[in-house]
Amino acid sequence: MMTEPAAKDKMKVLIMGGGPAGLAAGKILTDEKVSCIVFEQDNGVGGLSRTHSHNGFLFDLGGHRFFTKKNELDEFIQRLLVDELIDVRRLSKIYFMNRYFNYPPTFMNAVTGLGPWVSAEILASFLKEKLRPRKTPVVTLEDWMVSQFGRKMYELFFKNYTEKVWGIPCTEVSAAWAAQRIKGMSLLSTIRETLFPSGKDRPVSLIPSFKYPAHGIGRISERLKQEIEKRNSVRLNSRVASVRHNGKEITGVVIKTREGKEYVETATDYLSSIPVTELIQIFDPPAPAEVIAAARRLRYRDLLICVLMFDSEPITKDTWVYIPDPQIEFGRLHEPTNWSPAMSPPGKTSLVFEYFSFESDPLWSLPDEKIVENTVKQFTRIKLAPGAEEKIIDHCVVRAKKAYPMHEIGHESMLVLIKNFIKKFSNLTLMGRYGMFIYNNLDHSMESGIRAAQNLCGARYDLEEVLKRDEYLEIKYPKND
Ligand SMILES: Cc1cc2nc3c(=O)[nH]c(=O)nc-3n(C[C@H](O)[C@H](O)[C@H](O)COP(=O)(O)OP(=O)(O)OC[C@H]3O[C@@H](n4cnc5c(N)ncnc54)[C@H](O)[C@@H]3O)c2cc1C
């Protein structure tokens, strides 16, 4: 429900969650001289885009590159990080049939690596898809990928990795997810880019470098926090435990601190980037039973990270290495030192292994030592850097819950129910990846926070529409904004 904004000096905005979305909103409000306060449950800001540190080594929860299609956002980041941004050369590989291929798979690389027979099969199955009109609608992720790449390419390169990420068959993931995430990327664009490089419509996912803060992606959130604290505050270790309301407005939230203190904080307006599935369940009085049931049906994929530290110069040249092989448990790895030398002490390096999993998987309850042992064994098996296992000097394991909102078939109707309930509250706005339950990137999350804050100051953005219109941000055509 849209109401007229109050005078800025009468406003107090309470922001739930100190990830990129919440902090970007806080920065805009601070610049507008609006009073605001951010509550973050963790002992540091950044959420999933936080850079962790361990004995002098820095690492993201899976390498995070910042990329945006919007000049406004690009400039926002440039101003925020001034001279902290460096250019990172992008070089990714995929481990497949005991060999490494370029990623995204280029046509020539596939031909030389797979041989002419398999390459011909790829081309034939692609042409079959393109020349023969589909008889059934594109509903599932499998339908979408087959229609874009052909069945052979889907089965060889995409199926195993995607199923590793989601933990469910591609036939149970909504095609809408792929259309939003991988739009513009097709076998044709890949072939065209291989044969005619630097074409002016080249998708950015194929452009060989990106910007990155020298001390990790978490610097974006740390800098936003500093900006907010020029006038306002960010409270760490402070969980939003309950949200009070009168059916039309939010009237206050209960904050619980790590030390066990509990208090009520009130505001004129509330912005939430905490998982909407949790928000619904902490309403006081409770949300209707069907809305709570819908929130419980929305699922997330969780992420476990194992980091191995080496007494060595960098041991790969890659930014990311994808491992679709179902025999290997981790799905992706990266070497932070290749992103920025400042991520490791001099003469040392590390590898970050990502296990896409559910919190309920046996993996999550394994002791860290066992996870490290399994990771070392499988690292040796994939022969990425033979002998490097002898130089391991340290390790660390991080468990990150709710890493990916799952776009399962049918989830849209649950979301509609939830968002219709939220619309009843005139002073509550949802933003961010988990607040809106949209599988988006850091820049999208920040943009939703920025727009939410601008709306409180009189703008009229429809956040859902803004994010939908933006298509998939990995694909930036230079001609566009
Ligand atoms: C493995 C991986 C790799 C990724 N790589 C990239 C990449 O390369 N580029 C990119 O742009 N994006 C990437 N992303 C996406 C990016 O991490 C997210 O889009 C972004 O962090 C979302 O920001 P957010 O503020 O919406 O949510 P979050 O980062 O999740 O922030 C939400 C915050 O709310 C806090 N919170 C939750 N509940 C409560 C509560 N009850 N009370 C108080 N606080 C609470 C959380 O602790 C968290 O800090 C990646 C994500 C993953 C998982």
Each residue's pLDDT, cut to its tens digit, for the chain (481 residues) gives 455 667 888 999 999 999 999 999 999 999 999 999 999 999 999 999 999 999 999 999 999 999 888 899 999 999 999 899 999 988 888 888 888 888 766 666 666 777 888 888 888 888 888 888 777 888 888 988 888 888 988 888 788 888 898 898 999 888 877 766 655 555 556 555 554 454 444 554 555 788 899 999 999 999 999 999 999 999 999 999 999 999 999 999 999 999 999 999 999 999 999 999 999 999 999 999 999 999 999 999 999 999 999 999 999 999 999 999 989 999 999 999 999 999 999 999 999 999 999 999 999 999 999 999 999 999 999 999 999 999 999 999 999 999 999 989 889 999 999 999 999 999 999 999 999 998 888 999 999 999 999 999 999 999 988 776 654 433 333 332 2
Q: In whole angstroms, what is the distance from residue 314 CA to residue 80 CA? A: 29
The model carries a pTM of 0.90
- E strands, 125-199, in order: none
Q: Is 24 in the pocket of ligand 1 (CB under 6 A)?
A: no
Biggest alpha carbon–alpha carbon distance for the chain: 71
pLDDT of residue 258: 96
Question: Does ligand 1 lie within 6 Å of residue 47's CB atom?
Answer: yes
Closest CA to 321 of 312, 331, 329, 313: 331
The token pair that represents 146 in the structure block = 């087959």
**CA–centroid distance, residue 440 to ligand 1 (Å):** 10
Q: Which two tokens stand for residue 340?
A: 């920025």
pLDDT of residue 471: 47
Q: Distance, CA 48 to ligand 1 centroid (Å)?
A: 4
Residue 198, pLDDT score: 46
Alpha helices per DSSP H over 287-383:
289-297, 336-339, 362-365, 368-381
Residue 336 Cβ < 6 Å to ligand 1: no
Amino acid letter for position 297: R
pLDDT of residue 116: 82
SS3 124: helix
Does residue 303's CB lie within 6 angstroms of at least one atom of ligand 1? yes
Which regions of the chain carry the CATH code 3.90.660.20?
A: 300-405
* Amino acid found at 338: N
How many other CB atoms sit within 10 Å of the CB of residue 163?
21
Our answer on whether the CB atom of 26 is closer than 6 Å to any ligand 1 atom is no
If you measure from the C-alpha of residue 133 to the centroid of ligand 1, how many angstroms do you get, rounded to a whole number? 40
The first and second tokens of residue 184, run together, are 């513009």
**8-47+69-83+217-298+408-469: CATH class:** alpha beta
Mutate to test the pocket of ligand 1, among 27, 64, 73, 165 (most ligand atoms within 8 A of CB): 64
Residue by residue, DSSP assigns 411-475 as HHHHHHHHHHHHTT-TTEEE-HHHHTT----HHHHHHHHHHHHHHHTT----HHHHHHHT--TT-
443 Cβ inside 6 Å of ligand 1: yes
300-405, which class in CATH?
alpha beta
pLDDT at 113: 74
Measured in whole angstroms, the distance separating CA 270 from the mean position of its chain's CA atoms is 24
CA distance 57 to 307: 10
* C-beta pairs of 313-317 under 8 Å, 24+ apart in sequence: 313/347, 313/349, 314/338, 314/349, 315/349, 315/351, 315/384, 315/385, 315/388, 316/351, 316/384, 316/385, 317/91
pLDDT at 389: 96
Query: Which pLDDT belongs to residue 479?
Result: 30
